[in-house]
Structure 1
Amino acid sequence: MPYFKHKNADLYYEDHGQGNALLFLHGASLDMRQWNREVRHFSKSCRVITLDARGHGRSTLPPGKVMPDIFWQDAYALLRHLNIKSAAVCGLSMGGHTALQLAAYAPEIISALILIGTPCTNKFNLYERVCVPINLFSLRLMPMSWLAWCLGTFLGNTKETRTYIKNTVRSMDHGNFNRTWKAVTGMESRPLLSRVKCPTLILIGDRDSLTGRQQDFIHRSIPGSCLATIENAHHGTNLDNPEQVEKEISRFLKECSHTAAP
């Protein structure tokens, strides 16, 4: 199985297809299986790479504090490991935030950016500044079975999405879950938005109450970005409505290739 080592973690990835590189990054508490359908679809025309973030899926999480910037560094290290010089990157939630930081810190390697249900901060307004610390404390006390039920119930809009989220969260180690979530809620990218220069597509589920309030802000802050709404989708947007997500991404990548053509 394909692993590479970076900063004391064994990171699992998969590499499918040939063509222009397209990297998919999953959300917190999920794993690369979130993108199974997209892998099948886009690997027909692209080189599709997926990564289990450290502490998720088959990737390990070394002892100690998890730093908020480690996720984009892991993704960048994977692209370097595979000797990829240019890639489009797509992420949902934590994966989108990771992709955003990757585009800001490593613009020479990111050709296009796709953000789905992505926050740029966890301190966007008074509500988040008050509730995020309370939620972090509550997560430490709740059994994983409860956490799995809550996240699956409130973040998915279909039975299949809710089942996948519940099963994936339930499989995580509680300590790893808490350490990862503390790092995720410490990610901050508002000052980085103006540094994103590559073509950017922002997708948001019409029922996503978790990150919906930030999408217009990100759209306004990244010059030339496009914003589209995915129908009948909650925070697990690509799982709830994969057909429309694939259609929007395909159209965007096609436009990017035409723009880049001489």
Structure 2
Amino acid sequence: MTAPTTPHVDIHRAGDRMKTRISWLDSKHSFSFGQHYDPDNTHHGVLMVNNDDIVMPGQGFDTHPHRDMEIVTWVLRGSLVHQDSIGHSGVIYPGLAQRMSAGTGILHSEKNDSWRLAGSEHDEHAEPVRFIQMWVLPDEPGISPGYEQLEIDDELMRGGLVPVASGMPAHRNQSAITIANRGAALHVARLQPGGSVQLPEAPYLHLFVAQGEVSLEGAGILSEGDAVRLTASGGQRLSADAPAEVLVWEMHSRLGG
């Protein structure tokens, strides 16, 4: 399919996201998810899910299946315990990049109960965990399930857009973790007051303000939870007057072509 040639900037405000709220979960969905379905809002590029989740202490997602999806989880506050059917178990926390390839099929759970790994049944950590979970379509179905994680907090503290998860050849020796899509990469930037970064150029970009407030050239002020979907664009300057964190997906293909 021919790449788009007409630049387009589409701003999606935090308050307009679809929401799932139950006793232990506050989840905001940038795209159609679960019972929330909008045929005009199913994906951008190859990004199909961008969920902003808050899970209460001692609670979480019980064991459930996934298939043929690259799942990247980025924790912003607190800690999240991951366990899966191929033998991986660990705690994800801010600054730790994590990817799970569902492939031919995998079962996993995600809980806000890290204290139990130390053998205590007491709720010693009363902090909710907040994390962004992103699903990207892989290049090919039926790959072997896999898991990868790496701490990159030090690199993020140096500033700039850091390639956190990528399948692009250009990031082969740069990204923290790999995904099974040769045309997609997740960049993260922690902006300090007065700091700025330039967005990469790509047929499809998805910018999500994870924390704080930023200003995007040509689009204005973006607050926490806001997202921008860019087509045939990039190169804009993104700046912050106060500490902020942004997630940027660079994508060179889209679902269906």
Relative to the length of structure 1, the TM-score reads 0.29
Tell me which protein shows more strand as a share of its residues.
2
Tell me which protein shows more helix as a share of its residues.
1
